[in-house]
A = this chain, B = another copy of it.
């Protein structure tokens, strides 16, 4: 079955600091024309970081888009041309003050492919050492060491409501019980 949409024209209708918005005119599979709005995002990384074999780092942050504070694993956007692993190491230091000795890519996925190009690279970090990282001037967050069992409980009782964090915990839980 032919599903592909061919872009006939594309226009940037908004350019912000974090994402751009494109309005595209596409040729639909049935030959007609259609319009699509796309958020163009640079991509991001997120890190499940082990303080010890049974403790992970979570960060609590006010998210204006959600209108509330959320518990999330450390994460951040890719700089232009930045390697995702380098970005993961940088963001972990910036957000938590720890540099990872070992960093392993777990998976990558689209966070909301219906309208956004954001792809998220998920890493696991261990062997954390205290390090100095310049924080973003407009980023305010609380870092907490959370026992693995507590994190799983927060996943179950809805305290954790962020997709990337849910995927990181669920994949890790699966691996730990295998």
**Measuring CB to CB, which residues of chain A are less than 8 angstroms from any residue of chain B?**
1-5, 7, 13-14, 16-19, 21, 23-24, 26, 28-30, 32, 34-41, 44, 60-67, 69-70, 72, 75, 77, 107-120, 138, 140-142, 158, 161-164, 166-167, 170-171, 173-174, 177
Contacts and interface: CB of A to CB of B under 8 A. Distances in A.
A166 to B, nearest CB: 5
Contacts of A67: 117
11 contacts: A3-B141, A13-B16, A16-B37, A19-B115, A29-B62, A35-B138, A107-B158, A111-B163, A112-B112, A112-B118, A120-B163
Contacts of A140: 1-3, 5, 28-30
B138 A34 contact: yes
Contact of A63 (B60, B113, B141): B113
Nearest to A39: B39
Nearest to A170: B170
Contact of A35 (B1, B17, B28): B17
A11 to B, nearest CB: 12
